[in-house]
Amino acid sequence: MLDDLEARCAQAMAEHGCPSVSVAVAVHAEVILAQAYGLADTGAGIPATAHTPYALASVTKPVTAAAVCVAADEGLLDLDAPGPLGATPRQLLRHRGGLGAHYDFHYGEEGEPAVDVEPYTRLHRAPGSGFEYANLGYRLLGRLLEEATGQDLATYARERVLGPLGLDGFRIATVCPGAATRYTPDGRPYPEGLRTSHPGATLGWATAPQLALFAQSWPRLLKPETAAAVLDAVPIGEHLGYGLGWCVSRGEGPLLVSHGGGMGGVAAMAVSAPELGLSVAVLTNTTVKAARDAVVDHVLGELVPGFAPELISPAFSVPARPLTLKEGEWAGHASTPEGEIPLRLRILPGARAELTTGGETATAPVGATATLALRGSFPVQLPTADARVGSPVLGLELRLDEGRLAGVARVYKEGDREGLLGNLLTHPCELRLVRPG
């Protein structure tokens, strides 16, 4: 099986502009396949090999989760004891700690991130009341580990998780010597160094064989009841749940435990099929996930009976519904670290809306979901210093609550086809109807 892997990888790289891909398959703790194709560094012409480390982005989260669970088994922390902001480690691991979506990146080896994350580390809902994918939860978990163990996350993970599994080259760090260069979709390189406020969510590095071994070997570190708790996943969709740091498949088909990762110049995936003793890792050095997905689907389609892509999909999408808000004008504010920023929203005919803030006005299509009365993105700049650091788009997610629109205003950048990937910052938002249509 997988005799045509090289051809499939070459096709995926060519079709999607991917510089390189590294693939590993492990069975019962033995790597049986490790191949890499393409260039780890296009400028220097350095080929990718099975020994080339890649950035992991969110595939770092399972490592942080394993470290937290090891500490819990050692009696150093309690998974169900309320901690920062009243959220428990179990809730934070499941992305149910009440925090909002967030990422911030500072490229290069020197200096600190331009965005102060503390004002964004706040509750948007009661802990345990709902799922929202939250890098900041994993930031808090890293701080909890440091308080409980006296070691920073990277050191504790190396000594108590990665080292005992024999994965000495696997690391959490701001830079990894010899790693594949990360590239934008049009082939521009990212700087080597990467800093962020949420290293436990983002800053993992590994080769594909190391990641494949980790994906199936982490339960050896834990008590049986703790390993079972990791896979006790709360549903986030028809085919997927989220446990303690891993996505877990639901319904028909084989049990699959997975996590995807994506950020500027990174698209990664780790998947295990525990009943088969099988695990797979696919790593690429481009922002676009299409090549990664094509290779993952091919490999798992060959090796796992009954595989379907929706059993591992890391996309947390919400089905859209038609907008039901009537035409009219709403006014209010977004709460930011610089204070309340005025917003004005006009609902227009044809499921469109006009948003004004900071002297800018833009019109965009809007829709709704089962829980949101309005959802849409507008090409306007929120006039704060943080938003001006690579976050030129403003997205609204608002629910109708006793005559007001309440929710969040998110600022971000649409990809990295120009410049580098920006930041995603979430702000509480509230609007009231000031002029009916």
Question: Which domains, from first to last, does the chain contain?
Answer: 5-311 (3.40.710.10), 328-436 (2.40.128)
Kind and range of the H or E run holding 404: strand 404-412
Kind and range of the H or E run holding 10: helix 5-16
Specify the pLDDT at position 72: 98
Specify the pLDDT at position 311: 94
Specify the pLDDT at position 112: 63
Specify the pLDDT at position 109: 63
Specify the pLDDT at position 313: 78
Tabulate helix, strand, coil % of the chain (nearest 5). Answer: 25, 30, 45
Cβ-contact 202, 421 below 8 angstroms: no
Which residue in 37, 8, 48 sits closest to 293, CA to CA? 8
Kind and range of the H or E run holding 12: helix 5-16
Spell out, as residue ranges, where the chain has pLDDT lower than 70.
109-113, 314-317
What does the angle CA 208 – CA 143 – CA 91 come to, to the nearest 5 degrees? 80
Specify the pLDDT at position 98: 97
Structure token digits, residue 53: 């480390």
Which residue in 287, 265, 261, 138 sits closest to 193, CA to CA? 265
373-385 residues labelled b (16+ CB within 10 A) or e (exposed)? bbbbbbebbbebe
Average pLDDT, the chain: 95
Give CA separation, 215 vs 166, 244, 248, 269, 282, in Å: 13, 13, 13, 10, 12
Virtual torsion, Cα 119, 121, 126, 131, nearest 10 deg: 130
Structure token digits, residue 321: 């519904």
Specify the pLDDT at position 348: 97
Phi, psi of 22 (to 5 degrees): -120, 130
**Burial of 326 by CB count in 10 Å (0-12 exposed, 13-18 middle, 19+ buried)?**
exposed
pLDDT of 203-243, one tens digit each? 999 999 999 999 999 999 999 999 999 999 999 988 999 99
Pairing of strands 266-273, 404-412: unpaired
Distance CA 74, CA 355 (A): 52
Kind and range of the H or E run holding 36: strand 30-41
**For 395, left (φ over 0), alpha (ψ -120 to 50), or beta?**
beta
Cβ-contact 397, 424 below 8 angstroms: no
Specify the pLDDT at position 267: 98
Specify the pLDDT at position 237: 86
Kind and range of the H or E run holding 212: helix 208-217
**Residue 88 CB contacts under 8 Å (≥ 6 apart), including other chains:** 78, 79, 80, 81, 82, 97, 127, 128
